[in-house]
Amino acid sequence: MRVAVRAEDRSVQTARVWRRPGFALECGARLDVEVAYETWGELNTARDNAVVVCHALTGDARAGDTADGPGWWSAMVGPGKPIDTERYFVVCSNVLGGCAGTTGPSSIAPDGRPYALRFPEVSIRDMVRLQMELLDALHVAGIRAVVGGSLGGMQAWEWALLDPARVQHVMVIAAHAVFPPLAIGYNAAMRQAITADPMWCNGDYYAAGTIPEQGLALARTIGLLTYRAGDLYQQRFARRTCSEPRQGAPVERVEAGRAHAVAERRWRSPDGNGQAAAFTAPLFEVESYLAYNSRKFVRRFDANSYLYLTKAMDGHDIGRNRGGLAGALRQMRARLTLIGISSDYLYGARDLAKTAALAAAAGVRGTYLELDSQFGHDAFLREDPRLQAMVRDQLERV
């Protein structure tokens, strides 16, 4: 356990691992689970000031700043910030099936070997039910809000329906109540990129001592192309090449520019051994950006976790076994704040607005808001004062 106390405030941050033996999954399997989670702030005497933050596909439990560094949502979580750790007891855990401390396919099974594809399939509901039990273990009686974007927003949808007695408010950012077919298609393409890599070894690359680096990097590249808006790529890169990086250009462009210069020399070499580089080495700045970030991602994320988590996203449908979407919305008791992003390609703001209208027709108390941003789906992860104001204002309404 790590405990950190800021000198300038009374906000306490801790990082722990919680163990849950024999956790039952929707698929029928039972699993001994470890959950990595972090908390900020303190639970009040009524034990009802909790805020649950749910992370996106490649996130982890470190939503806010810790003694070891900044969190992935540092602009949103902390003392005096929209999710104020001096007022709320904030909890964020790594999802089931992940690779940042919570049990997943890379974890060691009881026989001493990594689970690999022996790991059972998990669902968004499995993730949330495990989080609910974690909150039970932390003696949380009331949850002011559950907040999340993308995969985190899918979890927030399920929180409202699985734990109506405790959850007062769910704040869903850039996430449909039912995962759309376009997003399923992109997830399928990303999984095919991983499984087609010979180094994947049918999922048992741990034993083989390999990493499906090319496949996972390609999956990440596909993801990056969908998470950002086309106008942003035009503005940032246009058709500029990286062979002569501009002054002050990001390091990935400099690195890729040098790589391409070497590739050009190999291409022109008499033996011709470098001809393939014309098709593999980045020429344009946008290529170098994607290549650099994809390589960086491979060093921190497990390929099998990527497979399992994207498969769980495909199955997300709050209407499943609840009488369809309309039936599920009629069961909601928590206040709903649904936030769309104007340039989101995967989770269109217009579609989210329609869902908000359906929710209102079903009697759900709530609000639809839209963030006008050029950054596409990933806009919720940026330090945007407008989004911060939306979250702060909506939390105040509880």
Tens-binned pLDDT, residue by residue, of the chain (398 aa): 443 433 334 457 788 999 999 999 999 999 999 999 999 999 999 999 999 999 999 999 999 998 888 999 999 999 999 999 999 999 999 999 999 999 999 999 999 999 999 999 999 999 999 999 999 999 999 999 999 999 999 999 999 999 999 999 999 999 999 999 999 999 999 999 999 999 999 999 999 999 999 999 999 999 999 988 778 888 888 888 876 555 555 544 445 555 544 444 444 445 555 677 778 888 889 998 899 999 999 999 999 999 999 999 999 999 999 999 999 999 999 999 999 999 998 899 999 999 999 999 999 999 999 999 999 999 999 999 999 999 999 999 86
User: Residue 19: how many CB atoms within 10 A of its CB?
Assistant: 11
CB-based contact 157:177 (threshold 8 Å): yes
- Cα separation, 90 vs 219, whole angstroms: 32
pLDDT of residue 228: 83
Give catalytic residues, as residue numbers: 150, 344, 377
Instruction: Assess contact for 388 and 76: CB atoms under 8 A.
Output: yes
Residue 60's pLDDT is: 97
Contact 171, 340 (CB under 8 A): no
- Six token digits for residue 129: 């039910």
* From the candidate CATH numbers 3.40.30, 1.10.3470, 1.20.272, 1.10.1740, the one assigned to the domain spanning 206-304: 1.10.1740
Domain residue ranges of the chain, discontinuous segments joined by +:
2-184+317-396, 206-304
CATH architecture of 2-184+317-396: 3-Layer(aba) Sandwich (3.40)
Which candidate, 194, 147, 151, places its Cα nearest to that of 176? Answer: 151
pLDDT in the model for residue 2: 40
Mark residue 140 as left, alpha or beta (left: phi above 0; alpha: psi -120 to 50; beta: remaining). Answer: beta
Residue 351 belongs to what H/E stretch?
helix 349-361
Question: What is the reported pTM?
Answer: 0.90
Domains 2-184+317-396 and 206-304 belong to one CATH topology: no
